[in-house]
Amino acid sequence: MANDTSSIMSEKVKVEQTTIDHYVEEDRASSIVNEFGHGNGGFLTAYFNVVCVVAGTGTLGLPKAFAEGGWLGILILILAYAMAVYSGIVLIRCLYYKPGHRLHDFKAMGVAAFGWPGYVVSSVLHLLNLFGCPALYLVLASNNMTVLCAGTAAALNYKLWAIIWGVILLVPSLIMKTLKEVTAIAAIGAVCTMMAVFIVLIQAPMYHNAHPEIVVERDGVIWTGFPMALSTIAFSFGGNNTYPHVEHALKKPHQWKWAVIAGLSTCTALYFLTAVPGYWSFGRETQSPIYNSLPDGAGKMISMIVMTIHVIFAIPIYTTSFSLEFEKFVRCDEERIGRFGAWLGRAAIRTATMVILVILAAFIPFFDDFMGLIGALANCGLVFLLPPLCYLKLTGVRNKPYYELAFCALTLLLGVVGCVFGTIDSIRALIKDFQT
C-alpha cells in the first residue's frame, strides 16, 4: 500500500512539474505583447532585423581590420562569430532566468545580475552603442553624399549633409511608434549590404589582376595592430542591445535562437566575402570604408549609394530602441498623459535624440577611427563581456560543462583585450586625426 501511495505521489509530482514547465513555456511565448511590439513578428522579421543592424558599417571596415592585423583576422573573425552567436542566445536566456517573468531589456539584465553596479555599466555601454553607432552611420551617409554630389547643384559641405539627414530621419522616428513598424524597412537595408558586398567581391580582384604593376604587401600577423583589428571586428557584431526588443516582437519566441544564428551566419558570410578579397587586392593600402579603395566608376558609386541607403534604414532601429526605453522610464504613455500628450512626449524625446546624433556626427567625421573607438568602448563590452558574465551570475557556474566555461573565459579575455587596448589605440588615432 505504501509503495502504491509513493508511486501515485511520484506520478503526481511529475504531472505537476510537466504542467509547470508547459506553463513557463506558454508564459514566455505570450509575454511579448507590450509597448515594444504586439507579438506579430515572424522568423524572417527577426532575421532581417539582425542582418540589417549587424551587417552594416562593419562590412565596410573589415578589410581595413585585416590590413591592421594581417591574415590573423580570419581566425579572429571566426572566433568573434561564435562568441557573438553564443552571446546573443544567452542574452535572451538571461531575460527569462526567473520562470514566469521576463526582464525588460539589457539594463534590467545588468541589475538582476549585479545590482546597481550592473545597471551603471550596462547603461553606459548601452548608451555608447545607441548613440555611437547611428552617429557613425550619419558620418558615413554625410561623407558619401558629399562625394556623390560634388560638382553638381546639390554640392554641400559635410556638416550640412549631416543636418539634412538628421531632419529626414526624424520624420519616420516620429511616425513609427514601435519596432513593429520599423522592421518593415529592415529587409531593404539587408539587401543593400549584400549588393555592396558583391560589388567589392567582383571589382576588387578585377582591379588587382588588371594592374599587376602595383605591388600589394600582405602580412600573416601584425601583433601591434591586433587590438585595433579586434575592436573593429567587435563593432561588426554589435547591435545585440537591440536584441531584447527584436525578440519581444516575435510571435514565437523560441524561434529567436535560430533567427540569431541565421542572421549572424549571413553577416559573417558577407564579412568574409568582403574582407578576404578586399585585403587580398589592396593589402596594407586597404582603406575604410573599403569602396574608397575601388577605382572611380559605376561600381564605386553604386556601392556608396546602396550603403548610404542601408545605414539610413538602420538608424531608426537604434533610435526607436533607445526612445522606447526612455519613454517607459519617464512614463510617457497614453494611460498617464493621454494620446496627444504621449505623442508630444515621444516627439520631444526623439527630436532631442536626433539632435544629439547630428552634433556627434558633425564634429567627429573620421569614419574608421570612430568605428574602432565605438567597437572597443561599447561593443567589446556589450558582445564579449556583459552577456556571458550576467549569464553565469544568473544561472550559475557549477551547472555548466567545462567546455562552455572555457569558451566563456576565452570570450571574456578577448573582450578585455579589445576594450582596453583597442580604446587606447583608437583614441591615439583620433587625436592624430584632429591634429592633422
Q: Which amino acid is at 403?
A: Y
The per-type count for the chain, helices as H runs and strands as E runs, is 16, 0
Question: What local confidence, expressed as pLDDT, does residue 406 receive?
Answer: 93
CA distance 165 to 383: 29
Cα 53 versus chain centre, distance: 5
How high is the mean pLDDT of the chain?
80
DSSP of 33-65: -BTTB-S-B-HHHHHHHHHHHHSSHHHHHHHHH
What are 353-378's pLDDT values in tens digits? Answer: 888 888 888 887 776 677 777 777 78
Q: Residues 243-256: what's their mean pLDDT?
A: 80
The pLDDT of 245-256, averaged and rounded, is: 79
Sign of CA dihedral 230, 236, 242, 244: negative
What is the reported pLDDT for 280? 94
What was the pLDDT predicted at 177?
62
- At residue 14, the pLDDT reads 40
Kindly report the pTM of this predicted structure: 0.77
Take residue 114 and report the three cell numbers written for it. Answer: 549585479
On the question of pLDDT at 181 being above 60, the answer is no
pLDDT at 422: 81
